[in-house]
Structure 1
Amino acid sequence: MPFHPQEAYQCGPAALATALASVGIRRSPDQLRDEVYIPARQGSLQPEMLAAVRRAGAIPYRLAPEPQALLKELAAGHPVVVLQNLRFDWAPQWHYAVAVGYDLPAGQVILRSGVEKRLVMDLGAFDRSWAKAGRWAFVALPPEQLPAAANETDYVAAAVALERVVPEAAEKAYGTALKTWPGNLLARIGIGNAAYRRGDLAAAEAAFRQAVDEHPASGDAWNNLAQTLHERGNQPAAREAAERAVAIGGPRLPIYRQTFKTVSGG
């Protein structure tokens, strides 16, 4: 594991640089400072930390706020960025560190923390400081790699958030999700959207057709299939798919109606 000792109030950039370097993404704390450090707060807020991971092309996955999730990731060899409160609830001292290992018989957790490359901390004391920060933690992984403690809903949501920033990386994350949860609708639509975005309409149609076969009540899948079929010149099938989307309705019904109008030549 790499190590970046922190400067004053720079634990966020240092922890982030350490986590990214562990998956082959080289960013120095100085490079990350402008992305995550807020001078008025003398620190880095959690949303900025997660956003910086996305901009680097990795997927930040928030762990469930429980020790078992942390230990499971460490056992899989995934360093975990953790937020601690090193003082009191009424006078907090927030601090980011990177958990890199543990020794259960000895009751210890091993951290890259501050200026210490190998801080061995009592597991109970660590958990108390972590609990005072809501047990907030995440792993930063390549989109081809599934977190050890991942659940379907949270991982696909993380991939959707990544798509808004680095669509190419999100497509890989959707593929990773489908290997474990092949029936996931959002991931299947995400694969279709990625193919559509790069102009591969045949692959997009295949993905959307699989989505409507597996989830016939999905208006989004029918709508996207209709648009793709329209652009491929299959107007009868496009109109039929658009009709299905409109019949299903839902919060995006105005979009479905517009697609129906487009594919119908109206």
Structure 2
Amino acid sequence: MDPTATFPGAATRAHVEGVPRIQQDAFFCGPTAIAMVMQWAGSDIQQDQIAELAFSPRARGTYQADMIGSSRRLGQLAVEISTFDQLLTEVAAGHPVIVFQNLGLGIAPVWHYGVVTGYDLERDAVYLNSGQEDQMVLPFDLFQRTWQRGGNWALVVLPPDDLPVSVAETRVLSAAAALERVDQLRAAETLYQTGAKQWPDSWLWQFGLGNALYAQGDLRGARAALRYARAIAPDVPEIRSNLAHVEAELGG
């Protein structure tokens, strides 16, 4: 693979500053990967705390669904991506990306989660924090093979005031709704506010914000957000219904 020819639209090189390298405990590559991206974002969480939510002793590892679920239960925006272009775009935007790799062979798989922190097309190098104190550096072709053997699965985990740049608005909305489902209402509120700034003409963000505020008991905030949603989309019955409900409670 010639990376400069394969990805002509990508930035030539990118590096995400400040992602810590954490020596993983045995079989804790998943929790360690989440700890690295959360510590990069300012949290002091440790891999063993994440393992309490994500690690499966019987499997001696962490399922992908638990990587997503534990990140959301910790108040993070978690969105899957699956293409090389998306991965490079996120890293170029300053976002580390968790990837699932098979570092072994088909008959002897070695499943592993690492964190892509940078790349250099001209040097043919992908840089990963991989559960060790030393940085892992792989040629693009070798990285691609190990990632393909892992199903091209990757996860962007960010605080809710930062948005991924390579996924559709609907995917981010789904992530916000998922935060509500795990009772991370403050995180959902922040994500709805962030999304409303990014997509100001979409009523769904103000509608979601109103619902999240209502669930936290902030009726006046919910009314303001739902009125904003109604101004954007006056004919949506769900907005009118929820707004009427909030106004009735305030009136009472």
Band the TM-score falls in, shorter-chain normalisation: 0.7 to 0.9
TM-score normalised per structure 2: 0.85
1:36 aligns with 2:54: yes
The range that moved more, 11-20 or 197-206, is 197-206
Deviates more, 1:1-10 or 1:163-172: 1-10
Q: Tell me how far apart the structure 1 counterparts of residues 126 and 147 of structure 2 sit (CA, whole Å).
A: 12
Question: Over residues 121-153 of structure 1, what are the superposed CA-to-partner deviations in whole Å (9 max), with x where a residue is unaligned?
Answer: 011110111122221111221111112324211
Question: Does 1:101 find its partner at 2:114?
Answer: no
CA shift in 2, pair 1:211/1:2, >3 Å: same
Other-structure match for 1:59:
77
Q: What amino acid is the match of 2:143?
A: F
Q: Would you say 1:163 and 2:172 are equivalent positions?
A: no
- Gap runs ≥5 in structure 2: 1-18
2-structure distance, mates of 1:116, 1:74 = 21
> What does 1:122-201 align with in structure 2 at a 5 Å threshold?
122-165=139-182, 166-201=184-219
Alpha-carbon separation, structure 2, partners of 1:102 and 1:95 = 19
For residue 44 of structure 1, give the secondary structure of its aligned residue in structure 2.
coil
Compute the TM-score of the two structures, normalised by the length of structure 1.
0.81
Instruction: Give the distance between the partners of 1:16 and 1:9, measured in 2 at CA.
Output: 14
Q: Which SS does the other structure have where 2:178 is aligned?
A: helix
Structure 1 counterpart of 2:237, from 193, 206, 219: 219
Q: Secondary structure at the match of 2:221?
A: helix
Q: Percent identity?
A: 41
Aligned-residue offset at 1:200: 3.3
3-state DSSP of counterpart to 1:40? coil
Alpha-carbon RMSD across the aligned residues, in angstroms, is: 1.8
Task: Assess if the C-alpha contact under 8 Å between 1:109 and 1:122 holds in 2.
Answer: yes
Q: Is the Cα contact below 8 Å between 1:159 and 1:174 reproduced in 2?
A: yes
Indicate conservation of the 8 Å contact 2:185/2:215, yes or no.
no
Runs of 4+ in 1 over 6 A off after TM superposition: none
- Name the aligned partner's letter for residue 152 of structure 1: E
User: Unaligned stretches of 5+ in structure 1?
Assistant: 235-266
Per-residue deviation, 1:205: 2.0
Aligned residue pairs total: 233
Secondary structure at 2:26 match in 1: coil
Q: Deviations over 1:25-69 (max 9, x none)?
A: 112222222211111111101111112212222211222x11111
Note if contact 1:86-1:129 (Cα within 8 Å) is conserved in structure 2: yes
- Partner of 1:43: helix, strand, or coil? coil
- Tell whether the 8 Å contact from 1:144 to 1:173 is kept in structure 2 after alignment: yes
Q: Highest relative contact order (Cα 8 Å, sep 6+), 1 or 2?
A: 2
Larger Rg: 1
Q: Is the 8 A contact 1:25 1:56 kept in 2?
A: no
One-letter amino acid of the structure 1 residue matched with residue 136 of structure 2: L
Q: Quote the Cα distance in structure 1 between the aligned partners of 2:115 and 2:240.
A: 44
| Secondary structure in 2 matching 1:99 | strand
- Structure 2 match to 1:117: 134
| 1:111–1:117 Cα contact (<8 Å) kept | no
